[in-house]
Structures are given as structure tokens and as C-alpha cells.
Structure 1
Amino acid sequence: MGEINMLAIFLAALAFFVIGMVWYGLLFGKIWQREAGITDGTIARGHNMALIFVLAFLFELLIALMLGHQYARTNPSPRGLMMIATGFGATIMAPAIGINYLFQRKSWKLFAIDAGHLIVGMTAMGLVFLAFR
């Protein structure tokens, strides 16, 4: 078993976090807000955004830690490394939220935005780990 690179894990989580900022801010912010049923008023009412961001980053760290552990255990090729990262987003994370959204009667547009974020975020994580090879 190889070593788990904690710097790569932190930077991979940070990459996912930054992707989320761009994804839900500049790219799809207003559409996502509408589809999720979140108004500007809801955001302005003082929900603890700092806590939400900290917890989101901690969850992303957990994902990166698991991905780093997977890489340390299997030592995949660069191609395999990216297939694991992107595949995890596309075939595990996105379908998992898809199942929830079906039962919650969420829109396909919301699913596409959220699933796309997970797939792109996981790909970014993979690229960070690849850079540390």
C-alpha cells in the first residue's frame, strides 16, 4: 500500500470547493436557485452560510480522503486514476442523488446541475491527484 498524500487530499478538496463556487455562482447560480426553490430572501435571512461552507468543505475533504486511500491501495495508472475519479462522480454520486431526486419530485434540470457539479468536481479532484504523481 502506498502513502496517502495529505497535501494532495487538501488541494483536491479545495479544487472541488472552488468548482462548486463557480458552478453555483457564476455558471448556474440563478437557475439552480430557482429549481431548488431557494429565493434571494431565503439566502438573505441569515442562514449560517459560514457553517454551510465549512461543512461542505469537510465533506469534500472526506471524499478526497477516500479517493486518496483508493489510489494508495491500488496504485492505478494515470488513465485509471482519472477513470476512478470521474467514474465515481458519474456512476456512484450522480445516480445516488438521482434516486433521491426521483422520490423528492425534483426537476431534471436541478438533477443535471447537481450531477454535473459532482462529475466535474470529481474530475478536478482526479486532476489534482494526477498532478502529485
Structure 2
Amino acid sequence: MDFSNINFLAVLVGGILAFAFGALWYSPVLFSKAWQAEVGLSEDDIKGANMAKIFGTSLLLMLVMSLGMAIMLRGHDEGEITTVTGLMHGLYVGVMFVATSVGINILYQRRSVKLFLIDAGYQVIMLMIMGAIIGAWA
């Protein structure tokens, strides 16, 4: 694996923007109340959580995911990668691997289609953001 083709600034920005998008996606502006109801968390549950641990670990995991996207897109240096190809790779990985995995978990947990759409929708768009940024800076 040749890491010389990896733009680590793009990896960092991709992970941070995916995290920021999650803050919007799971905010009161979009899906926080619906998500909270679907997973059965009360306001007290939310207030009692260790948010520094949750947010910090989430950001770290998103940075790892962004690095994985960069390795997939650039680690083999097989042709030109653009914003659009990065976006499309994010879509493919999001739909064909991540959303399907989320869907399987939702089925076994006997959760709703609504929760699947919220959680898988975020994951797909997040990966598209990462892919587009890494592709743009390739």
C-alpha cells in the first residue's frame, strides 16, 4: 500500500465535515426528535450521556472512515479521481455496504423503517461527502 497518494488534509477535512453534517442531521432542525423517539431515548437519557466521549469517539471513527475512503480511492493510484468519482464511490459504499449493514441490524433489532432511513441516510450522505472531498483534492 502506497500512502504517498493519500492527501491527509483531505482525510481530515472529510472526517470533520462528515462529523459536522451529523451534527446537523441529528439536530432539532432535521431528525433529532424522530431519531430520539425511534431509539427510545428520553431527554434525561440525552442529558445524562457523556457527550465528550460520544462526540470525541465519533469524530475519531469518522476520521478512520475518511482514511479508509482515501485508501480506497487513492491508495492504489489507478486513474483519475475527481469530485464526482469520489462522490459516486461514497454513494456505492454507503448504499451497498453501510446501509445494508444498518438494515440488517435494524431487522434483527426489530426497529422501524423510519430509523433505518434516518441512520442509513446519514451514513450514505456522510460517505458521499468524504468521497467528494477526497476526490476534489486528489
- The TM-score normalised by the length of structure 2 is 0.89
- The amino acid of 1:9's aligned partner reads V
CA deviations on 1:62-120 (whole Å, 9 max, x unpaired) are: 11111111112134442432221111111110100110110000111000000110111
Kindly tell me the number of residue pairs found equivalent between the two proteins: 132
Runs of 4+ aligned structure 1 residues displaced above 6 Å come to none
Unaligned runs of 5+ in 2: none
Equivalent residue, structure 1, for 2:109: 104
Q: For structure 1, which runs of at least 5 residues remain unmatched after alignment?
A: none
1:61 and 1:28 map into 2 onto residues whose CA distance is 23
CA–CA separation in structure 2 for the residues paired with 1:51 and 1:82: 30
Looking at structure 2, the residues matched to 75 and 19 of structure 1 have their Cα atoms a distance apart, in angstroms, of 29
**CA root-mean-square deviation:** 1.4
Name the residue aligned to 1:115: 120
The structure with the greater share of residues assigned to helix is 1
Asked whether 1:20 is paired with 2:25, we answer no
> What is the distance in 1 between the residues matched to 2:105 and 2:86?
28
Taking structure 1 as the reference length, the TM-score comes to: 0.92
Match for 1:44 among 44, 47, 53? 47
| Farther-moved stretch of structure 1 (109-118 vs 70-79) | 70-79
Q: Is the 8 A contact 2:10 2:137 kept in 1?
A: yes
